[in-house]
Chain A
Amino acid sequence: MSKIQEVKAKVEIGKTKLVPGLVQEALDEGNAPGEILQAMVDSMSVVGEKFSSGEIFVPEMLIAAKAMAKGVDVLRPLLAGDTSASLGTCIIGTVAGDLHDIGKNLVSMMIESAGFTIVDLGVDVPAERFVEAIKENENVTLVACSGLLTTTMPALKEAVQTIKASGLDVKVIVGGAPVTPEYAAEIGADGFAPDAGSAAVKAKEMVA
């Protein structure tokens, strides 16, 4: 197995302690940083698919994302300034009144591993805060809003509509257990995904 394939395989099974060393070895063998990064992005999309299909669970996904992050730390000094892998910045947050963040964090990791730069606003984020963040950050292409409570569905609607009304040129993706594709469309979101794996796929599609 080539070193790059090994990196890919070990990210997939979340070997957080092994991946940084393997990334270094892959570099030492002369592989381009961008190529190694791409291999890790690919393994995370495999992880995403397996999560969507119920083959793996939240812990497996979390450690895979952590393994990748550790690998990226090794690459970061070499990638600085190289934005070729970037699909732009994604602003993410859980809407006002809602403090659940496990799902949002998973979505954030997967969208990041797909090639976005993430700005995470945390939980209980008022609608206007999303708009401010779009203005404060460079090259924002996507806003992702999460809502887990039926009682905060109106806040999700408000977030989407405030972002849309601002006239800023960004796409909005929404999700969370009570959100349906129909509801997403009804409140004017550009996209919806049922889980973190498909969120990354959808996010890429939306900014393509």
Chain B
Amino acid sequence: MLTVKQNLKEVLTGGNPDRFVKQFEFMQMIMSVPSCRIKPAIGEEVVNEWGVTIRWPEGQLGSFPVHDADHILLKDITKWRDYVKAPNVVFPAEAWEKAIADAKAVDHDNQYVTAFIAPGVFELTHYLMGMEDALMSFYEEPEAMAELIDYITEFELAYAKELVTYLKPEVIFHHDDWGSQISTFLSPAMFEEFFLPAYKKIYGFYKENGVELIVHHSDSYAATLVPYMIEMGIDIWQGVMTTNDIPNMINEYGGQITFMGGVHSGVIDHPDWTKEQVEEEFTRACRECGKLYFIPGACQGMGVSSFPGVYEASDAAIDKMSKEMF
């Protein structure tokens, strides 16, 4: 039997895997890294490291940036320098000790030391100024928007430098949601203009500094962006929704990129979830997408489920499909 890592490599290179890769099994996220992220607990409101107000009201599934007139951080994109101040990313060596120890303890035959990065460059633009203003600014103030994206990119690179110095991650798991279920937020042309250069720098830097794999999360439609994903150095696109026609993308781009997902979290991960429904979904996904350039998984951006048991049931359903198909 191949190790988890060997098996993953076979899937990525179109070789001979002996089973399906099970969701996030190959990534060990090192969450003990020093970070500047300030997050609210349930029922709390905080002002985060960028100055964005984040609220998590009681009884809600998750937290939310507050963008009403009183709270919005970036009020005028043309004056972004007056409002936006990137947080500090430099921490003393001692602050990295725990993360370095956690990285050492990883089962290196089966797992990669993984750094988790969120929000992404696009997400940060709409965290700062609200989604609508952000999207309109690409048209109305493209120069200012390009400058802001450069600034965010430099911030990411500064943190990347710290990460590769201290943690030395082998995999980067990076979030940035680029679309809704049925379309991308930006046209491919606009995406190419604003985000391809930024991500080429960021992912290029990681690749030049010892990172083996870039796993990018966008649980959305983004089939039209795959050529750019390949160009910027993404090895695995995680969160691929079925609205993308995954089998077709595998035919077209397999060998250059691998697709991870194929099962919508919304469909299987709810209070009334059942083992049968989970199995049905993974059976469909595995049969449709096949053994190569595909990693079955729910589209959620982390190796967990919202409702207890669903993630484990998904792993079990994948094991079942491995027995059947390999």
B182 at the interface (CB under 8 A from A): yes
A63 touches B139 (CB 8 A): yes
B276 at the interface (CB under 8 A from A): no
A59 touches B131 (CB 8 A): no
A97 touches B139 (CB 8 A): no
CA distance A192 to B152 in the complex (A): 39
Which chain A residue lies CB-closest to B186?
Answer: A57
Interface flags for B77-107 (1: CB within 8 Å of A; 0: not) read 0000000000000000000000000000000
Residues from chain B with Cβ under 8 Å of A103 in the complex: 180
CA distance A57 to B183 in the complex (A): 8
Which of A57, A60, A124, A150 gathers the greatest number of chain B CB atoms within 10 Å?
A57
A58 at the interface (CB under 8 A from B): yes
Interface flags for A64-102 (1: CB within 8 Å of B; 0: not) read 001000000000000000000000000000000101001
Residues from chain B with Cβ under 8 Å of A48 in the complex: none
Interface flags for B136-170 (1: CB within 8 Å of A; 0: not) read 10111000000000000000000000000000000
Residues from chain A with Cβ under 8 Å of B60 in the complex: 97, 99
Residues from chain B with Cβ under 8 Å of A54 in the complex: 182-183
B190 touches A178 (CB 8 A): no
B135 touches A59 (CB 8 A): yes
B187 touches A56 (CB 8 A): yes
Given contacts A97-B59, A149-B61, contact A66 B184 (CB under 8 A): no
A/B pair count, beta carbons within 8 Å: 60
Interface flags for B261-300 (1: CB within 8 Å of A; 0: not) read 0000011011100000000000000000000000000000
Residues from chain A with Cβ under 8 Å of B136 in the complex: 59, 62-63, 66
A195 touches B135 (CB 8 A): no
A interface residues, tally (CB under 8 Å): 24
Residues 232 to 276 of chain B near chain A (Cβ within 8 Å): 266-267, 269-271
CA distance A177 to B301 in the complex (A): 18
Residues from chain B with Cβ under 8 Å of A14 in the complex: 139
Residues 162 to 211 of chain B near chain A (Cβ within 8 Å): 180-187, 190
Q: What's the nearest-Cβ distance from chain B to residue A95, in Å?
A: 12
B180 touches A177 (CB 8 A): yes
CA distance A149 to B306 in the complex (A): 12
CA distance A149 to B139 in the complex (A): 30
Which chain A residue lies CB-closest to B266?
Answer: A150
CA distance A149 to B192 in the complex (A): 30
B186 touches A59 (CB 8 A): yes
Residues from chain A with Cβ under 8 Å of B266 in the complex: 149-150, 177-178
B132 at the interface (CB under 8 A from A): yes
- A residues whose Cβ falls under 8 Å from a Cβ of B: 14, 16, 54, 56-60, 62-63, 66, 97, 99, 102-103, 105, 124, 149-151, 177-178, 194-195
Q: With A60-B139, A105-B132 given, can you name 8 additional A-B contacts, CB distance below 8 Å?
A: A14-B139, A57-B183, A62-B135, A63-B136, A97-B60, A103-B180, A151-B306, A178-B266
- Can you identify 11 A-B contacts, CB atoms within 8 angstroms? A14-B139, A57-B185, A59-B136, A59-B187, A66-B136, A97-B60, A102-B132, A124-B57, A151-B306, A177-B266, A194-B182
Q: Nearest 10 A-B pairs (CB), nearest first?
A: A59-B135, A150-B266, A99-B64, A177-B181, A57-B187, A102-B131, A62-B136, A63-B139, A150-B270, A178-B266
